[in-house]
Structure 1
Amino acid sequence: MRPSLFDFAGGEPAFLALARAHHARCLADPELNHPFSHPGQHPQHVERLAAYWAEVLGGPPRYSESCGDETGVLVLHAGNGDMSDLGRRFVDCFVRAADDAKLPADPEFRAALRAYMEWAVQQVLAHPVRETVPRGAAIPRWSWDGLLA
């Protein structure tokens, strides 16, 4: 049996490195900079992002236990207007951040990460207004083979 994507990546330290690298890449991107540099951002944004991705990709439920469910994540990102190009740029930053964070270069692992992030961006884009976000949505779980039921 294969380890979870979380374990294969290197656990919590790997996801913290990924979140830091991703955040830095988004700040450096001329289009993504604004949403990542606004003054209202949570002071533990990077740590929360790391916990979220870790949980989604097979790690412990630290995000859902301390921050909430998927509804909160989607509400936070809903209603921000047309983000189609931002979504593509976000995925690109994520893929490159995996290199920066020195995550395993295994092609199947990297394909699973990309597939997850492309799916996640589509989930955000599916809710152009907060009123369309389903209530009580659980944090998704993603495996080597995609979304778990």
Structure 2
Amino acid sequence: MSESGPSVYEWAGGAEAFERLTKVFYAKVVADELLAPLFRRMKPEHPHDVAVMLGEVFGGPADYTERFGGYRRLVGRHKNRDIQPEQRARWVELMLSSADEVGFPDEAEFRSAFVAYLEFGSRRAMANSKPGAKPGNRDSLKLWGWGEARPGAE
């Protein structure tokens, strides 16, 4: 925890909380008519990898960047998937219902930061998924704090 208070990661409950979130979320995704086609080739480790990525984004360890390649890997996972607006919206909806189900904090400050990133990240994923998209060329993920995107180390 910093002098200004806990990070979003800490307030959520750390790595264990994000693991619970993605386990519940991806169980919903594979059963969802709208999203299942996007995830039909999902590897068993995908929920864990996303938990690690979300943890890093929200102020946890930089394990996703260090172990998996960070932003470039994330963009590569979305390349040419052509995510549609209704799929993006459903992804956010299921992520939020999963957060409720696993007991993520419901305080306005926490939810504001959490929802802001889900909206930002899912919209960037959708844009980067379009055929011919030219995403930024960086390694680090954007780090998300209390209501603003902070540039990652370049």
User: Do these two structures clear the TM 0.5 threshold for a shared fold by scoring above it?
Assistant: yes
Structure 1 residue runs without a partner (length 5+)? none
Aligned counterpart, 1:147: 149
Q: Which moved more, 1:107-116 or 1:85-94?
A: 107-116
Q: Does 1:48 align with 2:49?
A: yes
Do structure 1's residue 7 and structure 2's residue 5 form an aligned pair? no
On the 8 A contact 2:20/2:102 being kept in 1, the answer is: yes
1:134 aligns with 2:139: no
TM-score normalised by the chain length of structure 2: 0.88
Distance, in Å, in 2 between the alignment partners of 1:51 and 1:129 is 27
Report the aligned-residue RMSD: 1.5
**Which residue of 1 is the match for residue 119 of structure 2?**
118
TM-score, normalization: structure 1?
Answer: 0.91
Structure 2 unaligned segments of length 5 or more: list them.
none
Identity of aligned residues (%): 27
Between Structure 1 and Structure 2, how many residues are aligned? 147
2:89 is aligned with what amino acid? R
- What do the CA deviations read for 1:22-72 (whole angstroms, capped 9, x no partner)? 112212321111222x2x323311111100000000000111111112122
Q: Is the 8 A contact 1:9 1:104 kept in 2?
A: yes
Structure 1: which 4+ aligned runs deviate by more than 6 Å? none
Alignment-mate amino acid for residue 104 of structure 1: P
